[in-house]
Structure 1
Amino acid sequence: MNCMFSSISLYSMVLADTKFSGSRSVTLMAQSSKRTHHKKVPKNLRNPRRTKLPPDFGVNLFLKKPSTDTGLSHTYFDFDEEDKGGGDESEDDEQENDTVWESEELEAISSLFQGRIPQKPGMLFRERPLPLPLPHKLRPLKLPMSKKHVTLAAPKIASSRASICKQVYKNPNFLISLAREIKALTSNEDVSVVLDKCARFLRKGSLSLAIRELGHMELPERALQTFCWVQKQPHLFPDDRVLASTVEVLARHHELKVPLDLEKFTSLASRSVLEAMVRGFIGGGNLKLAWKLLLAARDGKRMLDPSIYVKLIMELGKNPDKYMLVITLLDELGQRDDFKLSQQDCTAIMKVGVRLHKFDVVESLFHWFRQSGRDPSVVMYTTLIHSRYSEKKYREALTVVWDMEASNCLFDLPAYRVVMKLFVALNDLSRAVRYFSKLKEAGFSPTYDIYRDMIKIYMVSGRLAKCKEVCREAELAGFKLYEQMVSRFAAN
């Protein structure tokens, strides 16, 4: 039996001295003597440059294939070798990763720390082209132009004049100041001294407000002179608004000549002029002429505004001898189809209806106003309570008080006066006391009739001490009570 011995030899590899220590690093490797050729360990495994970095957070480690190491196991006793052994390869990698920066890029990066990036020479200020016209905003051809004042292509003076005209021709402050300048004129001067200066800024209807202001200043002559000046201006006349304002001012000051044939006049005059004349006669107290003109318009089948009827009803209702005319106007107004009245007009007619004991008119007007979708005011509620109180419908009047409370309608002093009368008529002491205290909490001072109603309801209830207290309060407020009440209290 043949035996073969194999010898194992130890080879030592001496490495270079390190910079930081004088000791030598020795790597022991076991190798068989029979192997003449051994596999060389890669350079990156012999001299690693750095420790491995942790993986990125975005990398899925489970999808990465595991790497299999097929080399020999080595033991490293000194990690300072990476500073010397891997120097050549790191320099090669740096040369490969080194990028060449251009001058423009360096200049752009340096400008980030200095300020604005310098621009290349060229068109620094570009003019943007105008937007294309939209087809839906263009008017089609062969159609009439809009009824607006179209300013043609003109010099800058004309455009500035148009802008001033738009600001001036209907400005109330300017027109009122114009009337004041006319008032400041002497008796020998004509209104043309003031109006000629601003003639180019005026338009049709501009001077109607100035004429009405002259009427408030008791200057009907100046109003007539202004109208005569307007007649001479072709761009201001004819104009119904200026004519109506002049007619109203002259009629209010009894300086308007009444035509003999009213029927012919009403058939030729416009509605605005007729209404202005009636308003002027009513404002001047000439109710007879206003009534005649209204009858002539009715016979000529000319329907005037309902507010004209309301004004005439209010003025005629002040005279008990004219109650029949008021009833006629109420019936005529109720038969109209275009029944449109404001809240003030409704309240005025309701007050006249209470005075004439036309309680059905009051009720119908109130219901019509509620059905029109509007909320009644405290004056309208008070008028309705007074109407039902006058008709001795106390319970129905109390429901109106509940409606006022439900609608959060604030009471004023006339409303408290009417409500106190209602509670006295109902002999409701608790509500009377509560509303008497609410009146004081609201900041109102009780009137003489409220003190009298409170004394009366306390006397009926047998509360004499309260009667004396209210009497002292009324005397401190400056009211003198009846001598009978004082003597009765003194006797008790």
Structure 2
Amino acid sequence: MESLSCSLFSYPVSKCSSFTRLSRGIVFASRSDSKKHHHKKPHLPKNLRHRRRTELPPDFHPVLHPVPCEGPPSESDSAALPRDYDENDVNDSYDGNVVWESDEIEAISSLFQGRVPQKPGKSSRERPLPLPLPHKIRPLGFPTPKNIIRTHLACSARQPISNQIYKNPAFLISLARDIRSLPPEDNVSKVLDQWSRFLRKGSLSLTVRELGHMGLPDRALHVFCWIQNEPHLFPDDRVLASTVEVLARAHELKMPFDLDKFISLASRSVYEAMVKGFIKGGNLKLAWRLLSAATEGKRMLDPSVYAKLILEIGKNPDKRTLVLPLLEELAKRDDLKLTQQDCTAIMKVCTKLGKFDILEALYNWFKKSGSVPSVVMYTTLIQSRYLENKYRDAMAVVWEMESSNCLLDLPAYRVLIKLFVALNDVSRTGRYFSKLKESGFTPTYDIYRDVIGIYMASGRLAKCKEIRREAEMAGYKVG
């Protein structure tokens, strides 16, 4: 009996009608039509039951090449064959007439149409969930607009020259310097005419203010007169307000005789600029008169104007009575808007006037507005409660300041040490005195005096002599 030399798939062929072989010498046997076994048709997945395109016909006539046998079969090959193996059946399998059953054709064609059908049931391997992506976990909504004024030429190199320079502070300040360098007999038009077509409304307001800082109010007025002759730059309230502020600060602005008519005609920005100019120039009486006229005329001005006037009037002990009407005007405001600096300035004036209730109300309003107090505001509040002999309430502010990790300055250390001395708290006094020196500050005379006094009262004479020697080395003579 002969056998195939390559990989031979042994199968009993006593009841087979034909043999066929695919590549690599693998031999398959197809059953005859005499006995057909009816197999259950496998359940196909949905993608195979309803295909998107027509099914390709299978290749019913594969190319078959017989495997040549090199020499006679050995005894081991003959023993591997079954007993009912007949050589004639093998020779009959190469006639080229291959018979495929429908379930075999369907199984083979499914290999080329899609994935192999999996066995029913849950597979042991579970695919991990994908990591969350930032653009998927971010809440839905429109992006926040960024109102950025690009002043660098590198960021806007493709824009026109007018868009690059009409808001550029460096360019506008350079115009003020060029105007300052002009001879007294020359007009500002010599500098501004060459840049006229590149300017826009409001551009020269910064130039006017810079001329005011340089001490040239007459040149600022010349710039405003030049703008009046330029149709594309006039009228402009921003340049007018800057010019009025510069002239009022330099005491070169005359008040109109009919004040009521001026109040009704002037815009809010111009009116506020005039008041700010008089405040900066030291003409507080005229500034207070303008604010009183605005109150009588039921005209609403910015609260920062009131805060600046309150701060300047509070510096003069003889005129502090004028502050109370302004504080009452601010208390009536429903839409009170004050910056941290203005709020702290009003609190300092209230401390000097002894209006601690107004100070507390202003501090509570500032906290409810969602703002974070600064070290100056904390110090002002602690000092007011110290002057009111509310030491325990002042300690509550100290604990709040420590919890907020607020960096202390020298005035804050002075107020805190005064508070600890009043509470007779030796440990806190020594600890904050050490912190003051570790922060790089030099203790003042009153700090040395308070620390020496509390150590002397507690009976720690050695520590008292040490601090006294340190104060003498710093140049203070403590009695």
TM-score (norm 2): 0.69
Separation in 2, partners of 1:390, 1:222:
50
Query: Superposition pairs for residues 242-391 of structure 1, below 5 Å?
Result: 242-391=239-388
Q: Find the counterpart in structure 1 of residue 237 from structure 2.
A: 240
Amino acid of the residue matched to residue 219 of structure 1? L
- 1:171 corresponds, among 168, 173, 179, to 168
Change (3 A) 1:161 1:199: farther
Q: Distance in 2 between matches of 1:162 and 1:240?
A: 27
- 1:462 maps to what in 2? 459
Task: Letter of the 1:269 partner, please give it.
Answer: A
Q: How many Å separate the matches in 1 of 2:458 and 2:394? A: 22
Query: How many residue pairs align between the two structures?
Result: 347
Structure 2 stretches lacking a partner, 5+ long: 10-21, 32-71, 77-156
Give runs of aligned pairs for residues 42-441 of structure 1, distance below 5 A: 45=4, 48=5, 51-52=6-7, 74-75=73-74, 163-441=160-438
Select between 290-299 and 305-314 the one with higher mean Cα deviation.
Answer: 290-299
**CA distance change for structure 1 residues 53 and 463 in 2, over 3 Å: closer, same or farther?**
farther
Change (3 A) 1:308 1:53: farther
Distance 1:412 1:53 in 2: 96
Q: Secondary structure in 1 aligned to 2:231?
A: coil
CA distance in 1, matches of 2:258, 2:288: 15
Tell me: CA distance 1:162–1:204, structure 2 relative to 1, closer, same or farther (3 Å).
Answer: farther
Shift of 1:375: 1.1
* Amino acid corresponding to residue 310 of structure 1 in structure 2: A
Return the alpha-carbon distance in structure 2 between the equivalents of residues 473 and 161 of structure 1: 65
Residues 468 and 304 of structure 1, relative CA distance in 2, 3 Å threshold? same
- Name the CA distance, whole Å, in 2 between partners of 1:465 and 1:53: 109
Give the secondary-structure state (helix, strand or coil) at the position aligned to 2:160. Answer: helix
Superposition deviation, residue 480 in structure 1: 2.2
Question: 2: CA distance between counterparts of 1:460 and 1:229?
Answer: 73
Shift of 1:291: 1.1
Determine the C-alpha separation between the residues in 2 that align with 1:374 and 1:214: 35
| CA distance in structure 2 between the aligned counterparts of 1:162 and 1:198, rounded to whole angstroms | 17
CA distance in 2, matches of 1:161, 1:383: 51
Distance 2:357 2:266 in 1: 37
Amino acid aligned to 2:394:
A
Q: Which amino acid aligns with 2:382?
A: I
In the alignment, the residues of structure 1 paired with residue 30 and residue 262 of structure 2 have an alpha-carbon distance, to the nearest angstrom, of: 117
Higher relative contact order (CA 8 A, sep 6+): 2
Letter in 2 for 1:326: V
Residue 444 of structure 2 aligns with which residue?
447
Name the SS of the counterpart of 1:362 in structure 2.
helix
Q: Within 1, Cα distance between the matches of 2:245 and 2:476?
A: 45
Any conservation in 2 of the 1:307–1:345 contact (CA below 8 Å)?
A: yes
The amino acid of 1:421's aligned partner reads K
Compute the displacement of 1:479 (Å).
1.7
Q: Which moved more, 1:319-328 or 1:420-429?
A: 319-328
| Cα shift at 1:76 | 7.5
Q: Pairwise CA RMSD of aligned residues?
A: 2.7
Q: Deviations over 1:126-164 (max 9, x none)?
A: xxxxxxxxxxxxxxxxxxxxxxxxxxxxxxxxxx99711
2:471 aligned partner, one-letter code: A
Residue in structure 1 matched with residue 146 of structure 2 by the alignment: none
How far apart, in 2, do the equivalents of 1:74 and 1:334 lie?
117
Amino acid in the other structure paired with 1:354: T
1:446 is aligned with what amino acid? P
Cα distance in 2 for residues equivalent to 1:222 and 1:342: 33
- Please give the per-residue CA displacement for 1:394-452, whole angstroms capped at 9, x wherever unaligned: 11101111111111112111111000000111111111011111112222221211111
Cα offset for 1:244?
A: 0.4
Where does residue 36 of structure 1 map in the other structure? none
The whole-number CA distance in structure 2 between the counterparts of 1:223 and 1:408 is 46
Aligned partners of 1:327, 1:75: CA distance in 2, in Å?
125
Measured in 2, the distance between the counterparts of 1:74 and 1:213 equals 112
Distance 1:182 1:453 in 2: 56
Give the Cα separation in 2 of the matches to 1:199 and 1:439.
Answer: 57
Deviations 1:21-46 (A, max 9, x none): xxxxxxxxxxxxxxxxxx9x68xx5x
In structure 1, what residue type is equivalent to 2:190?
V
Residue type matched to 2:443 in 1?
P
Question: Alpha-carbon deviation of 1:67?
Answer: 9.6
Q: Decide whether aligned partners of structure 1 residues 161 and 244 sit closer, same or farther in structure 2, where only a CA change above 3 A counts.
A: farther
The verdict on how the C-alpha distance between 1:324 and 1:66 changes in structure 2, with shifts beyond 3 A counting, is: same
Q: Name the CA distance, whole Å, in 1 between partners of 2:186 and 2:192.
A: 12
Q: Which residue identity does 2:251 align to in structure 1?
A: H
* Local SS of the residue matching 1:322: helix
Task: Normalising by structure 1, report the TM-score.
Answer: 0.67
Q: Which amino acid aligns with 2:181?
A: A
Specify the SS of the correspondent of 1:374.
Answer: coil
Output the amino acid matched with 1:230.
I
Identity over aligned pairs, percent: 69
